[in-house]
Amino acid sequence: MDLQSLCKVILVSALISLVCHPCSVTAGDIVHDDDSAPKKPGCENDFVLVKVQTWVNGIEDAEFVGVGARFGTAIVSKEKNANQRRLVLSDPRDCCSHPKNKLDNDVIMVDRGHCKFTTKANNAQAANASALLIINNQKELYKMVCDPDETDLDIHIPTVMLPQDAGVSLEKMLTSNSSVSVQLYSPKRPLVDIAEVFLWLMAVGTILCASYWSAWSAREAAIEHDKLLKDALDEIPDTRHVGSGGLLNINTRSAVLFVVFASCFLIMLYKLMAYWFVELLVVLFCIGGVEGLQTCLVALLSRWFKRIAESYVKIPLFGAVSYLTLAVSPFCIAFAVVWAVYRNVSFAWIGQDILGIALIITVLQIVHVPNLKVGTVLLSCAFLYDIFWVFVSKKLFHESVMIVVARGDKSGQDGIPMLLKIPRMFDPWGGYSIIGFGDILLPGLLVAFSLRYDWLANKSLRAGYFVWAMIAYGLGLLVTYVALNLMDGHGQPALLYIVPFTLGTFLTLGRKRGDLRILWTSGEPERPCPHIRLEHQTIEELNDEK
């Protein structure tokens, strides 16, 4: 393997080990899980995100996102049914005693602390408030619950918590002698967003393209291998590595080490997640994206520009580089730089997805699973890795490490860039549907292996394994999104569903068709040596002459 390919594999192996699950990133992340908040009569509301739309002097202004309390009246879901009410600042600010303000069905804003949430709500209700906004003392949102021994829960006004920065903004509006009014409502999410459909197509299409490219390259290498053997009857060269330049075959040991390395890297991300570290990951992603985009464009354009694709120039450290690569590289670098500079704008996800897809396709072209045994070990370890860091890590770190890293909760940004994402187009809460590189790449290694085997064994689509592997992957990813919606947008480990579908289908079909031993060990169909075929042909011709 040359230096360029080696660097590419090392870099990408680090990038793809970060995130292996799709989840929905929504406005206003909430602290604490529902199962830790007890329900009781008068305190049994579901936690919902609440939109707080403001008007200043009758002109529509900023919108904030809060979370409704367990207690109080349920918040209306439709904007047209939500009343617009005047906002006032509580006196005293904590509302732990009866407010001195004269309220006429107004919304009262209070500070968190010094007494129970329900005490504040009861005092606000007694003062004739129509709703209560509690400003948190942190940037996050906190789920407001009732204590197990509370009995005074006859609360008939909605109570909403807002983050600290929203409180600062609202206080500035109120202290500027402006008339401020608010409207509270909690729109429901659609059952399925079109973004998830496009993301599913994107993931399946990426594996499809990468598999055909990988299988085509493997078949060309096999043809070249046979041709060399046919042309060398007297002197048999060592052709074990013919056509394998730049490829990396994973073995069982490296499959296990990959997951160990990924876990260590994930912990490092979790502990070091900060602005500077995310910036470093952006740089690494851009380097990998440039390599991937360059490789894909050169492979595509070489069909039309064969002459410059086959003309090379020597460059220090990189060796022989084609003129086509030199022509394409500036565009790829410029594309990645523009994305990095403008990655926070609304349409930057397009550039991120292009770089990510090119990177994944390139890795699936370079890194190969040689047989089903290695594929089983790799996917089984990844299966346990995904479950541990999404679910089990909550017991050790009091939060899901995988989801925290994916969303970038501790970085103050939108999360790490090693994700494919599409904005949720019809979701009133906005956000993105995302999928980690690992959820495409790791199953993609097995799917690409299935097509290479089918082509080398001259199997038809129906008699082969590729179509069934693709269907299994698509169904596994589909079930993931169904589970995601059933769990109300909480992050799900995609490999929990994808691995049983893809690996189970492959193992079952292989056993049923009698190919399991070959798939498990060699990973290639048994082919007679061309020398033996030629020798048999020569002997038969000599016998005929006699």
- Active-site residues, by number, are 386, 439
Cα–Cα distance between 451 and 229 in angstroms, integer? 24
| Cα atoms in the Cβ-side hemisphere of radius 13 Å centred on 410 | 16
**Residue 40 tokens, joined:** 């009781």
Tokens of 134: 């509690």
State the CB neighbour count (10 A cutoff) for residue 56.
16
Pairing of strands 59-68, 49-56: antiparallel
Please list the residues that pair with 419 across neighbouring strands: 436
Q: What is the CA radius of gyration of the chain?
A: 30
- The number of angstroms, rounded, from the C-alpha of 87 to the middle of its chain's C-alpha atoms is 40
Cα(364)–Cα(88) distance, integer angstroms = 59
Q: Where are the alpha helices (DSSP H) in 105-233?
A: 117-126, 164-175, 194-230
Residue with tokens 């403001």: 54
Cβ atoms of residues 247 and 264 within 8 Å = no
What 3 state SS string does 402-451 have?
A: HHHHHHCCCCCCCCCCCEEEEECCCCCCCCEEEEECHHHHHHHHHHHHHH
Question: Cβ–Cβ contacts within 10 Å for residue 516, how many?
Answer: 16
